[in-house]
């Protein structure tokens, strides 16, 4: 389905990002894995992905650093000759009530989750526009749709991602580039380890369980595939019914 395509995935070394890389690779896409983590960890992820028979390269980069993003994206374009799919998945949390939340923690979350996605889109905007093809997928959250106590920084960043998605979609739709957002609920990844056993939380989810990162990856695959060519500027929840 994605043979001959190049997919860039930020935060691709673990959790949802790694499953997205694997799902795209299973469907034939070559992968540029961008992550801030230690190179050995990214390489271990890359080895798993490469076993699926595609080309994988890793790039150590902090998406909150615009100069580093520019260098990394230039390198990706040089290495792969172009980019077809961009998944802005890298994200962090620094949860606290507003009363206790420091300005530094507010800024850190906005810088990675929102500005990081902006920097990445900015770098691949022209190449995708020129190619008249591109699939941009931004990972938002139900927190961005409905807010969440203790997550003013995170909810703001994820709501911002939705505005960024719609604006990007409107700017690039006529150029054959789509841009959509995925809004996951609770997904079982290292980010949510501390509350995965919370039974009250599970009861609040109609499906009665946390989602699997592979399930989010399945939705990302759909948004990266020709099956979604007429969908742009959309935000799709994947939350077991939690936020309906």
Q: How far is Cα of residue 157 from the mean position of the Cα atoms in its chain?
A: 13
Is the CB of residue 188 less than 8 Å from the CB of residue 213?
yes
* Token digits of residue 11: 């935060």
Check 119, 133, 154, 230 and give the catalytic one.
154
Nearer residue to ligand NAP within complex by CB, 13 or 232: 13
Does residue number 15 form part of the binding site for ligand NAP (CB under 6 A)? yes
- Helix residue ranges per DSSP H, the chain: 15-26, 39-50, 66-80, 103-109, 116-131, 142-146, 152-172, 199-203, 213-224
Q: How far is the CB of 2 from ligand NAP (least distance, A)?
A: 20
Nearest CA among 197, 170, 83 for reference residue 131? 83
Q: Minimum CB separation from ligand NAP for residue 226, in Å?
A: 24
- List binders of ligand NAP among 123-142 (CB under 6 A): 139, 141
37 lines the binding site for ligand NAP (CB under 6 A): yes
Among 48, 66, 167, 192, binds ligand NAP (CB under 6 A): 192
Stretch touching ligand NAP by CB under 6 A, among 61-69, 118-126, 197-205, 225-233: 61-69
From the list 143, 85, 84, 133, the residue with the least C-alpha distance to 109 is 143
Q: Is residue 230 among the annotated active site residues?
A: no
**Measured torsion, CA atoms of residues 210, 212, 213, 216, in degrees rounded to the nearest 10:** -90
Minimum CB distance to ligand NAP, residue 130 (Å): 26
240 binds ligand NAP (CB under 6 A): no
Residues 31 and 206: beta-carbon distance below 8 Å: no
228 binds ligand NAP (CB under 6 A): no
- Residues marked active site are found at 154
Positions in the binding site for ligand NAP (CB under 6 A): 10-11, 13-17, 35-37, 62-64, 89-92, 112, 116, 139, 141, 184, 186-187, 189-192
């Amino acid at each position: 389905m994605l043979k001959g395509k190049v997919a860039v995935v930020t935060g691709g070394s673990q959790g949802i990002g790694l499953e997205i890389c694997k799902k795209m690779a299973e469907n034939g896409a070559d992968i540029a894995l961008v992550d801030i983590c230690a190179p050995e960890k990214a390489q271990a992820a890359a080895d798993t992905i490469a076993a699926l028979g595609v080309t994988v390269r890793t790039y150590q980069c902090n998406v909150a650093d615009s100069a580093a993003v520019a260098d990394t994206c230039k390198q990706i374009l040089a290495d792969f000759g172009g980019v077809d799919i961009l998944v802005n998945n890298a994200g962090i949390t620094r949860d606290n009530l507003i009363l206790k939340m420091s300005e530094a923690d507010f800024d850190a979350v906005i810088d990675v989750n929102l500005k990081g996605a902006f920097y990445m889109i900015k770098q691949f905007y022209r190449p995708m526009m020129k190619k008249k093809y591109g699939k941009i997928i931004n990972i938002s959250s139900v927190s961005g749709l409905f807010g969440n106590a203790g997550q003013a920084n995170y909810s703001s960043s994820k709501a911002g991602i939705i505005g960024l998605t719609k604006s990007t979609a409107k700017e690039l739709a006529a150029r054959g580039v789509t841009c959509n957002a995925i809004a996951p609920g609770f997904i079982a990844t290292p980010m949510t380890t501390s509350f995965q056993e919370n039974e009250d939380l599970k009861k609040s989810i109609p499906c009665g369980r946390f989602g699997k990162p592979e399930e989010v990856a399945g939705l990302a695959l759909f948004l990266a595939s020709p099956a979604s060519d007429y969908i742009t500027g959309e935000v799709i929840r994947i939350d077991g019914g939690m936020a309906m």
